[in-house]
A and B are shown apart, each in its own frame.
Chain A
Amino acid sequence: MRTKRVRAGAVVAVAAALVGCTAAVAIAAPTVHRASQISIGFFAPESGFAAADGQSAYDAAKLAVNQINAAGGVHGQMLKLVNYDDGSDVKQAVSIATKLVTQDHVTAVVSGSYSDQTLAAAPIFQRYQTPMLAAYAVNPGIPAAGSYIFQQDYAGNVEGAAGAYTLVKMLHATKIGVVSIDNDFGHALVAGFKAEVAKLGASIVETDFNQFGEKTFTPVLQRDMGKGANGYYMVQYAAEAQQYMTDWNQLGLKKPLVGTEGVDSTLQFVKPVGKAADGLIFTTPFNRDGANAVGKKFISTFAKAYGHLPDMVGATTYDSFLELKTALLKGTSAEAIQASIAATRDFNGAAGTTLRYTSGRSAVKPVDLEIFRNGQVHHYAYIRNLSIITP
Chain B
Amino acid sequence: MAQFHLNVNGKTLEVNVDPTTPILWVLRDHLNLVGTKYGCGIAQCGACTVHLNGIAVRSCQLPVSSVGNNKLTTIEGLSENGDHPVQKAWLEHDVPQCGYCQSGQIMSASALLEANANPSDEEIESAMHGNICRCGTYTRIKAAIKTAANS
Co-complex (A, B): no
